Chains A and B, each alone.
Chain A
């Protein structure tokens, strides 16, 4: 609880309201890193080309907790499902319009029955965002209105599935307040603003 309160104060001092949030600049940075999440190598190349720095987050940091959660999930799946691998938890960071933006990648691969199915994800975070920004910049890039919009109090999210005029299978922008169970420090999966692209591929 103390940690939550401390984080809340920190977030409050660094936050930006929807009207002042530099959504266009953050979306531009997202496009530069996650515009074509074909593979972890492709994302690393995009990071080099667009000013993102790879780093190892401190375990106690917000990104460190999210990465730990992903790795824990991978270790849980491994003994149950030898054909599925969760891997490639790489972290990047960049300062965008004065805000500290961090990013992660993940990759799930299933190799069985003569085919390989891969889901590669690239996600940026602004942990100190204080509200869901306008999704207009992302909508313009996606080329159509979101397929789904939800606002439950625990999370606000807009998402696009399939048929995007981009090499992206799924696109999501979400805001998770620090009070959401999803931001519980013990098993944090989302916090603040996050934008994620995923590409699903099937090879025979």
Chain B
């Protein structure tokens, strides 16, 4: 993955695309849309609700070092995966949660955006430029979805951060 998401993720202080080796982030195989949406559901509340962490990430598995290639996480950050979807998260005011996936052929923007909107409790729609969306739980959500082309599947990064974080304050 390219674009400014490396900077965006770096700004979160959570996940930073490893230099050189992973300008494109982790090497992810195609993932079903349902799991990508489930990843967003797991992330929601990560920064504000550490006590709910166990329930949120039930069904997700700790990533192996090999799976984490291309992702650097703070020492107290956690990386999990399921069905080729990877999530890195860290609780707390300046924590965050990032869902990373390459969409499989079942990806359909006509259903994906409504599904994500339902999960996060705010309207999410396609945008030329990644736009922060304030969520009802006080988090901010930034979807970064590259368009599908004839030669490439859509790359999806869903970023959750706390709206009270120092990074969000800078952004505002």
- Enumerate chain A interface residues (CB-CB to B < 8 A): 70, 73, 77, 80-81, 83-84, 86, 106, 108, 110-113, 115, 117, 119, 121, 147-148, 150, 152, 154-155, 157, 159, 161-163, 169-170, 172, 174, 182, 189-190, 196, 198, 200-202
Contacts and interface: CB of A to CB of B under 8 A. Distances in A.
7 contacts: A106-B51, A108-B49, A110-B164, A155-B55, A157-B58, A198-B45, A202-B138
B59 A152 contact: yes
A174 B93 CA distance: 27
A77 B119 contact: no
Given A121-B52, A148-B41, A155 B94 contact: no
Contact of A108 (B50, B94, B169): B50
Contact of B121 (A80, A155, A161): A161
A110 B76 contact: no
Contacts of B118: 147, 161-163
B54 interface: yes
A80 to B, nearest CB: 7
Given A117-B137, A200-B137, A77 B91 contact: yes
Name A's interface SS: strand
Contacts of A148: 38, 41
Interface residues of B, number: 33
Closest 8 CB pairs of A and B: A162-B121, A117-B138, A200-B137, A112-B164, A81-B92, A202-B138, A83-B93, A113-B164
Nearest to B162: A110
Contact of B163 (A113, A155, A190): A113
A147 B51 contact: no
Contacts, number: 113
Interface of B: 38, 41, 44-45, 47-52, 54-55, 58-59, 76, 91-94, 118-121, 136-138, 162-166, 168-169
A157 B49 CA distance: 18
A162 B50 contact: no
A73 B93 contact: no
Contacts of B91: 77
Given A84-B92, A84-B93, 6 more contacts: A80-B92, A113-B169, A115-B163, A169-B136, A182-B58, A198-B49
B51 A154 contact: no
Contact of A161 (B41, B51, B94): B41
Contacts of A110: 47-48, 93, 138, 162, 164
Given A84-B92, A84-B93, A159 B162 contact: no
Contacts of A113: 163-166, 168-169
A112 B163 CA distance: 9
A117 B54 CA distance: 21
B37 to A, nearest CB: 9
B49 A121 contact: yes
B58 A170 contact: no
B92 A154 contact: no
Contacts of A190: 54-55
A70 B51 contact: yes
Contacts of A86: 50-51
